[in-house]
A and B are shown apart, each in its own frame.
Chain A
Amino acid sequence: MVESSKISTVGGDLNDFTRNEAGEISPTIENFFRYCSERKLMAVRCEQCETIHLPPRPFCSKCYSSNLEWFKLKGKGKLLTYSIVHVPPPQFETIAPYAVGVVKLEEGVNLPGVIKLKDMKNLNIGIELIVDFETLPFESWLGRTRYYFKEP
């Protein structure tokens, strides 16, 4: 078992975005989570075919163009499906049971995440959700900030 505390952050300083030769922020997973630590939910869009990639990836898997630009998602969407996890991995034992789901964002792409509602009885397919950010209770190679979904 790899203890969560022993997983090192490969990206170094969380605020220090990695950049390409032109000085643009690279379309990497680590940079996605660096943006999260600035409370921004970001995706990349292919400048050639306009496909949105979430998570970001180095080149467009539709048209193979490497011209991708970061943009900020509105962070609003509808719940496509969900589950309530009762038997979690060790890192999540203190918060179980907790809800997870797949949300279809207004921009048309899906994103999975934890869902927190004031009254969990309202958890239903189709409900509207917005993104917020929180500090992870454990360290991972992606830093300690993660996004989650809540009611508007």
Chain B
Amino acid sequence: MLMNKVALIGAGMTRFHHSLHKDKSSRELFVEAFLECLDSVDKSISHKDIDALFISATASEFFEHQSHIACLLSDWTGLNPIPATRIEAACASSSAALEIGVFAIASGMYDIVLVGGVEKMTTLEVDEMTYALMSGLDHPYECILGVSNPGLYAMMANAYFEKYDSSWEELTSISIKNHHNASMNPKAHFQSEIMDIAKKISQKKGLKFDNEMDFLKSPTNPYIAHPLRLFDCSPVSDGASAILLASSKKAKKFTDTPVYVTGLGHTSGTMSLHDRRDLTSIPASVEAGNRAYKMAKIESKDIDFAMVHDCFTPAEIIATEDLGFFPRGEGGKAAIEGRTRINGEKSINTDGGLKAKGHPIAATGTAMSYEVWKQLRGEADKRQVNNAEIGLIHNVGASGGTAIVQIFRR
């Protein structure tokens, strides 16, 4: 339990994109997210109000040959001499940073803490980037065997298809929905429906696609790791996100509509996929969800909307089952039936998810809470979930060595 209640009082993020940020390194990216975060504080805030920084960059050693990045970002955001610490948990890095920020405030040590994440990924070619991200896997038993991140989720997908008698077609409901949601999100990497992308490609290449499935089944959507194709995978994006946290006492000085952190669940699972009994679930996600629900004193049915970790399309289906939103084997069917659309039974990945919003690794966790912040304050425009009161984020490190679930309320 937290000794003191903690609130979000500001949130900012860059657009996630593969080419827009060519001239920016991690520091410029994070500064951009930070400045929007400062501006988002309703009653304004000064640099001098901020007591500490917990920041994530997952693989900046590979991408930019830059470690020791926390103090660099403290300097570039004009926050020196506050303490700055880097938190790393693969793709779950910045939600881990948010959690540490909450602890730092709840302990009474600080009043205002900045948390966030940044990843500059496009410095590497795709194959080298693939290898860099494989550093988040069990090196001797996955990496040197040539098992990539998409390969691991592809293996989960095949195990799922076998167990529940489903198929790749089920996965397309996730990418189609998430592209639709991202088409309404000005921060998203892809802001277009899959069919719009298909039309563009068909004009360029003189091809014809009758519908989304026709396009998704074509060689224009090549295999990355069978059965996963390009449109089953989150893209390579540059980006940053930032959240300002405050003690509930101080929060009122900065905003009349804070968003409260009410549930935290953070668990570790086996680093290797092979070490798990069931390959169709991520046990760490189940446990992280249970812990967050218990702390927030709610059940999965009480969640109005959720950002779940859809680094690859099967991951969203598995996540919605692991979090208790749908029974085992029915996550994909629920998506096909439209039950996970915005204002469906459970709005999932209203921001477009990792799939279409983009996935600059360490920026993802706090970008999920950025969307929760927008939704709970009624600022999500066309993506707005009606009567959104309780939102959840689910952020997974690699194939499930880390799982973090956080619950927020108005």
A interface residues (Cβ-Cβ under 8 A, vs B): 1-2, 29, 32-33, 55, 80-93, 95, 97-98, 100-102, 110-114, 125, 136, 140, 142, 146
Contact = CB atoms under 8 A, between A and B. Distances in A.
Name the interface size band of chain B: 35 or more
B279 interface: yes
Given A2-B62, A100-B155, A85 B147 contact: yes
Nearest to B222: A86
Interface string B200-238: 000000000000000000000011111110000000000
Contacts of A84: 154, 223, 225-226
Contacts of B132: 1
A81 B156 contact: yes
B300 interface: no
Given A81-B158, A101-B155, A112-B141, A88 B148 contact: yes
B273 interface: yes
B137 to A, nearest CB: 10
Nearest to A90: B127
Given A1-B62, A86-B222, A80 B127 contact: no
Contact of B274 (A85, A87, A102): A102
A2 to B, nearest CB: 7
Interface centre among A33, A93, A112, A146 (most CB of B within 10 A): A112
Interface of B is mostly: helix
B346 to A, nearest CB: 27
Contacts of B134: 89
B151 interface: yes
Given A83-B158, A100-B155, A110-B274, 13 more contacts: A1-B62, A55-B141, A83-B147, A83-B150, A85-B148, A86-B224, A89-B134, A90-B128, A112-B272, A112-B274, A136-B144, A142-B144, A146-B144
Contacts of B62: 1-2
A83 B150 CA distance: 9
Interface of B: 62, 124, 126-128, 130-132, 134, 140-142, 144-148, 150-152, 154-159, 162, 222-228, 272-275, 279
B155 A88 contact: no
A101 B275 CA distance: 13
B158 A29 contact: no
5 smallest A-B Cβ distances: which pairs?
A83-B154, A89-B131, A84-B226, A81-B159, A110-B274
B158 A82 contact: yes
B268 to A, nearest CB: 12
Nearest to A142: B140
B127 A87 contact: yes
A89 B130 contact: yes
B128 A112 contact: no
Given A81-B158, A114-B145, A88 B279 contact: no
B239 to A, nearest CB: 21
Contacts of B155: 81-83, 100-102
B225 to A, nearest CB: 5
Contacts of A100: 145-147, 151, 155
Nearest to A33: B140
A142 B143 CA distance: 12
Nearest to B159: A81
Contacts of A33: 140
Contacts of A125: 158-159, 162
Contact of B145 (A55, A86, A90, A113): A113
Given A102-B274, A110-B274, A125-B162, A88 B130 contact: yes
Contact of B226 (A32, A83, A90): A83
Contact of A102 (B223, B227, B273): B273
A84 B168 CA distance: 14
A98 B158 contact: no
